[in-house]
Amino acid sequence: MAGSSFGTLFRITTWGESHGKGVGVVIDGCPAGLLLDESIIQDYLDRRKPGYRKYSTARNEADSCEILSGVFDGKTTGTPISVLVRNTDQHSNDYRDLADLYRPGHADLGYAKKYGFRDFRGGGRSSGRETAGRVAAGAVAAALLAEFGISFRTYVKSIGPVVIKNFDPDEISRNDLCMPDASAAEEASAFLEQCIKEKDSAGGVIECVISGVPCGLGDPVFEKLDANLAKALMSVGAVKGVEIGDGFASAAAKGSENNDPFSADKDGSIRKETNHAGGILGGISDGSEIVLRAAFKPTPSIGKAQKTVNETGNSVRLEIKGRHDPVIVPRAVVVVESMAALTVADALLMNASSNLAGLKKIYS
């Protein structure tokens, strides 16, 4: 089944595996006339680059991108933008020992049953390396959205048991963990040092806030904006939960607490006084900030001994070698932001034909 495309009008198709020749993406449906060059994409890629920050894999990838098509005279032409990132630092031999066994927490068994055999080198297509294509495309989506005044602020809300208590936006880029709370970042670092010592790993929660989204994006029923955001985030490997606005907490609230009252500004524009809804009502953006969260499980590749079996069903004691992140959450911040940007960009384009009056503006 063709499962590597995302979006309807702003549609991306990613390809590539951990230890193949490279990874990449084809971005099809980006409107013509957007200023674009490699540096815009590279900025995003650098945010997920292995080895960029502390606590990330020692794999050393330049992750430098090349735009192969779809841009002319510095602007998008409306035709597909193909972006290529070559793999340069694969150590495939690290994985020979794992070829016939099923790593706990990984998709090895599922791939083997599904396809009859599998590319065992670094998880193949299930590797986190697959997200490079998403991020390259997310950079383009974000550049498009910026033209409409839409922007993103994404950060780590928790690492393992350590949750932020304060919110200082400037702090996000100051610490290695992308946390908007310096003391939480410090505490989380200590927790991660402990994990490393124990050859164990940690997970965490990422929060993304989207500002400037016009009211009316998303479509009723199945193409709700939050439904597509949920799919977008849950499609990222290691994500096990997704929330919009108050999320699971809203299930415990009463209607009178959870409903956001509407009021009008002096200029007549209508807005919500609170934002329990997280910017989406009935699947349609309501003009408030969109707030979403994704829960990441701990990195499944750990050095600590684990119990598993090989293909013939024999028990195996597994201690994973190789270069693995004790936590992938900080590197995943830009992946979450990219998936959110791709979803909103698609919704922006899809909404363009929602009513006759709007459509006539295009063709008049």
Considering only 61, 181, 207, 286, the residue that binds its own copies (CB under 8 A) is 286
One residue of 40, 45, 84, 140 binding its own copies per CB under 8 A: 84
- State residue 158 phi and psi, 5-degree precision: -155, 150
The single residue among 55, 95, 102, 155 that binds its own copies, judged by CB under 8 A, is: 102
Q: Which lies closer to its own copies via its Cβ, residue 84 or residue 164?
A: 84
Sequence letter at residue 83: V
**Cα–Cα nearest to 309, from 141, 112, 139:** 112
Task: Give the C-alpha separation, 40 to 136, whole Å.
Answer: 9
Structure tokens at 68: 């192969």
* Shortest spacing between CB 23 and its own copies, in angstroms: 7
CB 176 within 8 Å of CB 186 = no
- Among residue numbers 328 through 347, which ones bind its own copies (CB under 8 A)? none
Q: Which candidate, 89, 83, 125, 75, places its Cα nearest to that of 237?
A: 125
**CA separation for the pair 79, 71 (Å, rounded):** 8
Instruction: Return the residue of 50, 122, 124, 180 that touches its own copies, per CB under 8 A.
Output: 124
Q: Tell me the C-alpha to C-alpha distance, in Å, between residue 180 and each of 2, 51, 158, 168.
A: 39, 21, 10, 5
Among 173, 231, 319, 321, binds its own copies (CB under 8 A): 231
Q: What is the 8-class DSSP label of residue 101?
A: B
212 touches its own copies (CB under 8 A): no
The piece of 56-64, 169-177, 179-187, 195-203 that touches its own copies (CB under 8 A) is 195-203
Given 43, 62, 69, 211, the residue binding its own copies (CB under 8 A): 69
Burial 89-107 (b: 16+ CB within 10 A, else e): ebeeebbeebeebbbebbb
Q: Rule CB under 8 A: say whether 74 interacts with its own copies.
A: no
Residue 9 CA, chain-centre distance (Å), reads 19
197 binds its own copies (CB under 8 A): no
Chosen residue from 50, 122, 123, 330 binding its own copies by CB under 8 A: 123
The nearest distance, CB 260 to its own copies, in angstroms, is 6
Q: Assign residue 139 a region (left: φ > 0; alpha: ψ between -120 and 50; beta: otherwise).
A: alpha
User: 288 with 162: CB under 8 angstroms?
Assistant: no
Task: By CB under 8 A, tell whether 187 contacts its own copies.
Answer: no
167 touches its own copies by CB under 8 A: no
Of positions 61, 181, 187, 243, contacts its own copies by CB under 8 A:
243
- 263 contributes a contact to its own copies by CB under 8 A: yes
Residue 207 interacting with its own copies (CB under 8 A): no
Q: Scanning residues 129 to 148, which ones bind its own copies (CB under 8 A)?
A: 130, 144, 147-148
Cβ-Cβ contacts under 8 Å for 109 (sequence gap 6 or more): 102
Size of the site for its own copies (CB under 8 A): 170
Residue 322 makes contact with its own copies by CB under 8 A: no
Piece of the chain touching its own copies by CB under 8 A; list 45-53, 56-64, 98-106, 170-178: 98-106
